[in-house]
Amino acid sequence: MTAAVENQPRPVPGGTSGTAAAPPIIEVRGISKIYGGEVVALQDVDLAFEEGRLISLLGPSGCGKTTLLKIVAGLLAPTAGTVHVKGRAVTGPGPERAFVFQDFALLPWATVLRNAAFGLEMQGVASGRREEIARHYVAEVGLSGFEDKYPHELSGGMRQRVGLARALAVNADVLLMDEPFSAVDEQTRRKFQEDLLRLRESERKTFLFVTHSIEEAVYLSDRIVLLSPRPGRVSRIIDPDVPRDGDPDEIRRHPVYLDTVEEIWHGIRKYVE
Amino acid sequence: MSHEMTRRDEAATGLGLSVLVGGFLALPVVWRVVSLVLLFGAWEIAGQSNFNYAFPSFWETFTAFVEMLADGSMLAAYLRTMEPLVIGLVISLGVGISAGVAMGLREEFEWISLPVFIVMQAAPMAALIPLITFVYGIGLTAKVLAVVMLAMPVIAINSYKAVRNVPPSLVAMCRSFMGSRRQQIARVVLPAAAPMMFAGIRLGVAEGFSGVVLAELLITPTGIGDLITYNQSVAKFGHMYAAIVSIVLFAVIVVGVLQRVETAVFRPEKRSNR
């Protein structure tokens, strides 16, 4: 059943769930972020994420979930606190982390293949080698045959697949995804979620996933971190015990899935005006 | 998405001319010929109707044009005009683009130089040309300055806006994959800014043509300006019109070629659309 863990007092790094803990790959300690000296986006957030899991940051808008993700990515500097990834303090972007953007952030003048290879290009990988790698991951996300197309020739869902291929190609340990499916239509989104579950099996990576969709979080995650808004802080941590080995469609009908969705909704409805 | 953006940018910078030229060049040959025949036909009829003694017919203008080509006076005039135009445009492009990009990237440059360019762009430059003459005399320097003053502001301001309009998520993306500041500028900011920058360059080059003709009309008559004023003063209106039409056509062709170059070099995604 659902193991709900109240987050007061602070959880011990390494996680609080029952499974014999894998070492935490991401440790967030005392993170606060204040914008412009007055808007408190995050206040004193402590979290630990275990390797190989898919963790969702869930919450209503204004709860600082994207801010937290960008701090972990090294794209934003926190006002206070530290983030450690694989034991090293984060001071900026690093090769062990790759980011998937909400608006895809594809270069409009570059082909699918070049976009997918962009991270490798930045790392100075020779062009033959990086094309080979990019081709593999473009195929992995289901875009074989589109290598020479330009972003404007693709649908929204396909564009985000390119963004995903680009993040996978650099072979980072942690994939940071900022509402990756929010700009694609509902059908594409469902297909995408199923593909992501499959991808998790083949790629042994840690996913940190920001979403505002309760269903999406419960469907995909091993662990859901619920954030409450103004100031953003951790309100609950939930480990949905949904079986994911069977048919992906079964998950959406599973009683644990439905109960967890309902439970989270009751937890956060007070923050939604 | 990129298409909507370029269309908006071009509308915003009022780039009717090059859009028209591009549209015209995209037409099938037959329609191009038909539209030219209609235009020249209407001109011919208007010229024949004698509504104004100083308005030559198309044929009169055309023969005057051929005559000036044959006796070399057209070529000599263009060689003379090209000198301040080319020098002025090279300076405008070099300084304008660098200043624009610097202002787009660094706020301290924006503070220092943006007001200068905004004033330069808003001021009616023709009114300042007597002032230039007063300071720099009637030589090449004054004419080059006239070109620069007209061409540079729009190039600099568009380059600045182009850099500012680069989607921040593209730069963040480059940063997240550990692109250095240099890589961010070379691989993301400049290519992303190129379409709007080129819109400014086309406008600036067109302004440069105005500048050189203004200078040749207002400072001392040389080159094409001389051809216009001289033929006007001796009432050879066919020759005067031929000189005017030739400089207009020349400007249109140069701007059209610039657009071609841009698509060929910087916009692979536009090319693939054809």
Report how far residue B144's alpha carbon sits from residue B140's, in angstroms, rounded to the nearest whole number: 6
Query: Is the Cβ pair A105, B172 closer than 8 Å?
Result: yes
Peptide bond connecting B191 to the previous residue in cis, omega within 30 degrees of 0: no
pTM: 0.81
Helix-strand-coil percent breakdown of chain A, rounded to 5?
Answer: 35, 25, 40
pLDDT digits (tens, 9 = 90+) for A55-94: 999 888 778 888 999 999 999 999 999 999 988 888 889 8
- Residue B149's pLDDT band, with cuts at 50, 70 and 90, is very high
Q: What tokens were used for A210?
A: 């920001």
Mutate which of B178, B189, B274 to test chain A, going by most A C-beta atoms within 10 A?
B178
Domain limits for position B244: 2-271
Distance from CA of B3 to the nearest CA of A (A): 8
Start-to-end Cα distance in chain A: 30
Largest CA distance in chain B: 71
Report how far residue A214's alpha carbon sits from residue A224's, in angstroms, rounded to the nearest whole number: 9
Over residues B135-159, mean pLDDT: 92
Query: Is the Cβ pair A152, B1 closer than 8 Å?
Result: yes
ipTM exceeding the 0.90 mark: no
- 3 state SS of A223: strand
Quote the distance between the C-alpha of residue B64 and its chain's center: 26
pLDDT value of position A12: 43
pLDDT digits (tens, 9 = 90+) for B117-137: 888 888 887 788 888 888 898
Using a CB-CB cut-off of 8 Å, the residues of chain A touching B1 are 108, 151-152
Low-confidence stretches of chain A (pLDDT < 50) are 1-20
pLDDT value of position A231: 83
**Amino acid symbol at B233:** S
pLDDT value of position B70: 93
Decide which of B77 and B264 is more confident.
Answer: B77
Query: Looking at residue B117, which CATH number applies to its domain?
Result: 1.10.3720.10
Using a CB-CB cut-off of 8 Å, the residues of chain B touching A171 are none
pLDDT value of position A273: 66
pLDDT digits (tens, 9 = 90+) for B49-82: 877 888 888 899 999 999 999 999 999 999 999 9
| Count of domains forming chain B | 1
Instruction: Give contacts of A 130-159 with B, CB under 8 A.
Output: 150-153
